[in-house]
Structure 1
Amino acid sequence: MEARMLRLAMTLFSMIATTLMGTFVVVALVTGYDTLVPLVTAAALGLVVSVPASWLIARGLSS
């Protein structure tokens, strides 16, 4: 059961991470932050947020 949920979380992570990273970068661009450091920070923040998000969504779908 745990291995199946981990596999589901990893599959969801690939989609959730790209979506959140892109969303955070677009928000940074819209708010006027258009240099390297804010854009990389926004992408990194999206990556960090996507880890627990994918785990929570996988747990909800597998139960």
Structure 2
Amino acid sequence: MWKLAIIIFIIAAPTLAGIGALIPLSVFGVGEIDFRAVLLAVLCGVIIAVPASYFVARRLNGLLNPRGGHPA
């Protein structure tokens, strides 16, 4: 399951980091960029991607390998 979580993290981390980077750019505008706010928002996106990828991988693993059955 950890391999699947890492693959999902590789996709989810840049996506959530990009979404996080857009938030301060939308609030402050492009002319008044606060780089600390952008960096903080990007780091928050990456940190959120860690548990999100784990929970998605756990859910997918549960769907692919039902309990008591053979792997799909």
Establish whether TM, by shorter chain, passes 0.5.
yes
The number of aligned residues is 59
* Unaligned 5+ runs, structure 1: none
- Preserved CA contact (<8 Å) 2:28 2:34: no
CA RMSD of aligned residues (A): 1.0
* Higher share in helix: 1
Runs ≥4 residues deviating over 4 A: none
Output the TM-score relative to the length of structure 1: 0.89
**Aligned-partner SS, 2:28:** coil
Deviation at 1:35, TM superposition (A): 1.5
Task: Give a deviation string over 1:1-56, Cα, whole Å, max 9, x none.
Answer: xxxx1000000001000000000101111011621100100000001100000000
Tell which structure's C-alpha radius of gyration is larger: 2
Paired-residue identity, %: 31
* Unaligned 5+ runs, structure 2: 63-72
- Higher relative CO (Cα under 8 Å, sequence separation at least 6) belongs to 1
